[in-house]
A and B are shown apart, each in its own frame.
Chain A
Amino acid sequence: MAILRNDLVRLALFALVILTMPIWLAPIGAAYPDLMQKIAIYGIFAIGFNILFGMTGYLSFGHAAFLGVGSYAAVWSFKLLTMSVIPAVLFAVVVAGLFAAVIGFVSLRRSGIYFSILTLAFAQMSYNLAYSVLTPITNGETGLQLALGDPRILDRAFTDAGSGIPPPNLLGEELSGLSGFFFCAALLILCFYLAMRIDRSPFGMMLKAIKSNQTRMAYTGFNTRPYTLAAFIISGMYAGLAGGLLAATDPLAGAERMQWTASGEVVLMTILGGVGTLVGPVVGAGVIKYFENIFSAFHEAKLHEAFSFLPDGLENFFVTITAPFVGEGWHLTLGVVFMLIVIFLPGGLMEGVRKIRNAFTRKPASREETGRLAPAE
């Protein structure tokens, strides 16, 4: 296990696991590009959220606003400039970063629950405005879509406008299906690497010190505000990147991406996986997206199939018991799993993994004691 302490090895392992997703997700029926893209994108979103929440302890309840802004920015880049995803994604990151700088500057004047409410208020304002007054920019309820008449200045300069709307492309390669997934996966790995560097840097140390005792930090003469603001902006840029990728894989942006339930979702992902760990948020994002797509597609006939190895009576019994938890009711599963995790495994799935590992390697208990504060696994 000692080899796992090496960051490069970890990064390589992470990259390997992510890139082989189409192989090892196949047996559990999740190896289709659409779902894997979502897992990668929300993984980025959750990693970014963890840089703020996991490292500084500031719980933002309005992070989806940056995701939404990123989406809008990317779609506008498609509409005005070019169908290439690179400017779209860059544009999304920059716009979300600027937006985060403004909101963070105001919200970070308070901490604790007040900070949560301030971010929530800003996100809800953006959401409500996107639905109403900002319709010229956001196209309101319909959502922002590509249209035939879009200028696309850069594309037009080189090629004629073809018939139909061209799909987003990466250096001429069309981004669809698996290529879209690999694009997202590459960015996810890059983001993971950046988060890891931040985590190991003096800056990351500073953020963790702010989490454990901000007052003491202030007493030692540090102005903590610039650090938290930087973390907030970085995390907003991650969210913007995720939003841009959502738009790149499906060029459509709607205001509902900014609603508070979407902000809640990323909190759930991070907590489910393990706050303050590097891999945890990605695991959480994967689990939630998997549940959302797979469980919601289950129905009674499929359940009968799944339990068909049992005798008839038992089969029917199990189907009746599990039926409310799948299909339409997958939210129920999510809620129950979620409660169980928060009650019994406050450190998320990663804490579960650590506990299991400790049970096998019989490490001294003290390691586990410090587990929740220890830097990421």
Chain B
Amino acid sequence: MGRPPADGMRLLHFPARGGNIMDQFVLQLLNGLDKGAAYALIALGLTLVFGTLGVVNFAHGALFMIGAFCAVVFSRLLQLETVTVDPEKLTPWGSPMEIRTPLVQAWLGDFGAFLVEWSVPLSILFAIPVMLFVGIAMERGLIRFFYRRTHAEQILVTFGLAIVLQEIVKANFGANPIPVATPPALSGSADVGTWIGLGSIYYPWWRLIYLGFALVVVGLVISFLRFTTYGMVVRAGMEDRQTVGFLGIDIQRRFTVVFAIAAVVAGVAGVMYTPIVPPNYNIGMDFLVLSFVVVVVGGMGSVSGAVLAGFLLGILQSFAAMNEIKNIIPGIDQVIIYLVAVVVLLTMPRGLLGRKGVMER
């Protein structure tokens, strides 16, 4: 019978074992920030696309998935091997030992080995152009015909697109999760506890890096929108598209670029996520629904709202998973996100940070 609930939130959970309540607290806070980082990165793109193009993009999860598979492809490319036979050594079966060396290592020596080890972070460089291309192709090829259609139709067509993209990936990579190695230097855990003077609390390095990476990306996108002229024009277009058009600015083109940026953000989020959970074709869908809730709670079209709501829901989620809390209210960890969403939607008409007058009804 079906698989257990596969919400993205469960995927990220790093189990907290033993320890006193303070250790638990710190661990869960880190867990929450980590989950929040993943939600925020996906929700950021969703809300940007909604704010600029007015399109509800259900294929956004598929972009995350494509990003993750960029990492898979890149590390496979790096691991293309040459086989040399060493006649001196014999295998236990008596045949000559085969030595497999990745091509890059054979060509570039130590630098090649370094490339292979660090394939995940390096695949960001590979993923950015790919995601730019995918994003622009998607926007120009499909989304732009749906600006004036109803939200329901937008949801449906992008949902169809998401299914198609998933199935293509499934046909090429199979349905099983594909593990991708963390760079060995970062595969251990960091002793976070001693940094803040609390004894030893261990937390995986890669998750800390994911958090830092998410903060950097969010910071970059927000400052792009806030501090550059280009971003200023985009924000003006979000407020009043027509007037910006009257001023002789090709706002459409800028919105397409914003869509591509959103695609890149989702893509690199997917790349960095691969060492945490091995990607399969369905990984985007698992995140999509939650990211949608995050976007709506944050306020449709509000970038800072999406980030805030992402971290907020992530943290609430992981605190609700603490045994101390579960004992008081059983099952709260399963529903907390949706419960918060319901309360926010019923009490705050436009979400946490939604702009006045946008989607209030």
- Check A16 for interface membership: any CB of B closer than 8 A: no
- Check A128 for interface membership: any CB of B closer than 8 A: yes
Minimum C-beta distance from B16 to chain A (A): 18
Cβ of B63: which chain A residues have Cβ within 8 Å of it?
Answer: none
Check B160 against A331 for contact (C-beta < 8 Å): no
Known: A142-B1, A335-B161. A122 touches B345 (CB 8 A): no
Other-chain residue from B2, B151, B159, B335 in contact with A113 (beta carbon distance below 8 A): B151
- Check A212 for interface membership: any CB of B closer than 8 A: no
Other-chain residue from B4, B159, B334, B341 in contact with A129 (beta carbon distance below 8 A): B334
Known: A332-B167, A332-B171. A114 touches B296 (CB 8 A): yes
B346 nearest CB neighbor, chain A only:
A109
- Check A95 for interface membership: any CB of B closer than 8 A: no
Given the complex of chains A and B, what is the CA–CA distance between A234 and B5 in angstroms? 29
Known: A106-B342, A122-B342. A339 touches B160 (CB 8 A): yes
- Check A192 for interface membership: any CB of B closer than 8 A: no
Minimum C-beta distance from B256 to chain A (A): 19
Check A117 against B345 for contact (C-beta < 8 Å): yes
Other-chain residue from A118, A129, A329, A343 in contact with B157 (beta carbon distance below 8 A): A343
Binds B, one of A5-13, A263-271, A299-307: A263-271
A120 nearest CB neighbor, chain B only:
B289
Known: A113-B300, A121-B341, A129-B331. A256 touches B2 (CB 8 A): yes
Cβ of B345: which chain A residues have Cβ within 8 Å of it?
Answer: 110, 114, 117-118
Known: A332-B171, A338-B156. A254 touches B56 (CB 8 A): no
Check B346 against A334 for contact (C-beta < 8 Å): no
Q: Which of A296-339 contact B (CB under 8 A)?
A: 324, 328-329, 331-332, 334-336, 338-339
Check A133 against B289 for contact (C-beta < 8 Å): no
Q: Which of A135-157 contact B (CB under 8 A)?
A: 141-143
Q: Which of B168-207 contact A (CB under 8 A)?
A: 168, 170-171
Given the complex of chains A and B, what is the CA–CA distance between A131 and B2 in angstroms? 11
Other-chain residue from B162, B292, B331, B346 in contact with A106 (beta carbon distance below 8 A): B346
Given the complex of chains A and B, what is the CA–CA distance between A342 and B155 in angstroms? 10
Cβ of B359: which chain A residues have Cβ within 8 Å of it?
Answer: 112-114
Given the complex of chains A and B, what is the CA–CA distance between A343 and B361 in angstroms? 27
- Check A201 for interface membership: any CB of B closer than 8 A: no
Residues of chain B at interface, number, CB under 8 A: 44
- Check B248 for interface membership: any CB of A closer than 8 A: no
Given the complex of chains A and B, what is the CA–CA distance between A352 and B359 in angstroms? 33
Q: Which of B1-15 contact A (CB under 8 A)?
A: 1-2, 4-5, 7
Check A133 against B330 for contact (C-beta < 8 Å): yes
Other-chain residue from B56, B168, B330 in contact with A332 (beta carbon distance below 8 A): B168
Known: A121-B338, A133-B331. A264 touches B149 (CB 8 A): no
- Check A293 for interface membership: any CB of B closer than 8 A: no
- Check B163 for interface membership: any CB of A closer than 8 A: yes
Known: A121-B342, A133-B331, A332-B167. A338 touches B160 (CB 8 A): yes
Cβ of A128: which chain B residues have Cβ within 8 Å of it?
Answer: 5, 7, 331, 334-335, 338
- Check B108 for interface membership: any CB of A closer than 8 A: no
A contact residues, range: 35 or more
Given the complex of chains A and B, what is the CA–CA distance between A118 and B170 in angstroms? 31
Check A127 against B160 for contact (C-beta < 8 Å): no
Cβ of A338: which chain B residues have Cβ within 8 Å of it?
Answer: 156-157, 159-160, 163
Q: Which of B328-349 contact A (CB under 8 A)?
A: 330-331, 334-335, 338-339, 341-342, 345-346, 349
Given the complex of chains A and B, what is the CA–CA distance between A260 and B342 in angstroms? 16
Minimum C-beta distance from A308 to chain B (A): 25
- Check B247 for interface membership: any CB of A closer than 8 A: no
Check B335 against A112 for contact (C-beta < 8 Å): no
Given the complex of chains A and B, what is the CA–CA distance between A260 and B285 in angstroms? 10
Given the complex of chains A and B, what is the CA–CA distance between A110 and B297 in angstroms? 14
- Check A33 for interface membership: any CB of B closer than 8 A: no
Given the complex of chains A and B, what is the CA–CA distance between A113 and B345 in angstroms? 11
A271 nearest CB neighbor, chain B only:
B156
Minimum C-beta distance from A89 to chain B (A): 23
Given the complex of chains A and B, what is the CA–CA distance between A346 and B300 in angstroms? 25
Check B289 against A329 for contact (C-beta < 8 Å): no
Cβ of B300: which chain A residues have Cβ within 8 Å of it?
Answer: 113
Q: Which of B285-340 contact A (CB under 8 A)?
A: 285, 289, 292-293, 296, 300, 330-331, 334-335, 338-339
A262 nearest CB neighbor, chain B only:
B2
A261 nearest CB neighbor, chain B only:
B285
Check A342 against B167 for contact (C-beta < 8 Å): no
- Check B21 for interface membership: any CB of A closer than 8 A: no
Cβ of B338: which chain A residues have Cβ within 8 Å of it?
Answer: 121-122, 124-125, 128
Other-chain residue from B171, B285, B330, B361 in contact with A111 (beta carbon distance below 8 A): B361
Check B159 against A264 for contact (C-beta < 8 Å): yes
Check A117 against B292 for contact (C-beta < 8 Å): yes
Given the complex of chains A and B, what is the CA–CA distance between A143 and B346 in angstroms? 33
- Check A277 for interface membership: any CB of B closer than 8 A: no
Given the complex of chains A and B, what is the CA–CA distance between A346 and B160 in angstroms? 14
Given the complex of chains A and B, what is the CA–CA distance between A105 and B176 in angstroms? 42
Other-chain residue from A109, A260, A324 in contact with B171 (beta carbon distance below 8 A): A324
Cβ of B168: which chain A residues have Cβ within 8 Å of it?
Answer: 332
Cβ of A106: which chain B residues have Cβ within 8 Å of it?
Answer: 342, 346
Minimum C-beta distance from A226 to chain B (A): 19
A-B contact pairs, 7 of them (CB 8 A): A112-B151, A113-B359, A121-B293, A133-B334, A141-B1, A268-B159, A334-B163
Chain A interface residues toward B at CB < 8 A: 59, 106, 109-114, 117-118, 120-122, 124-125, 127-129, 131-134, 141-143, 254-256, 259-261, 264, 267-268, 271, 324, 328-329, 331-332, 334-336, 338-339, 342-343, 346
**Interface pairs A-B: 7 shortest CB-CB:** A133-B331, A256-B2, A335-B163, A128-B334, A332-B167, A121-B338, A339-B160
User: In the complex, given contacts A121-B341, A256-B1, A268-B156, what are 16 additional A-B residue pairs having Cβ atoms less than 8 angstroms apart?
Assistant: A106-B346, A114-B296, A114-B359, A117-B341, A117-B345, A118-B341, A128-B331, A133-B334, A141-B4, A142-B1, A324-B171, A328-B171, A332-B171, A335-B164, A336-B160, A336-B164
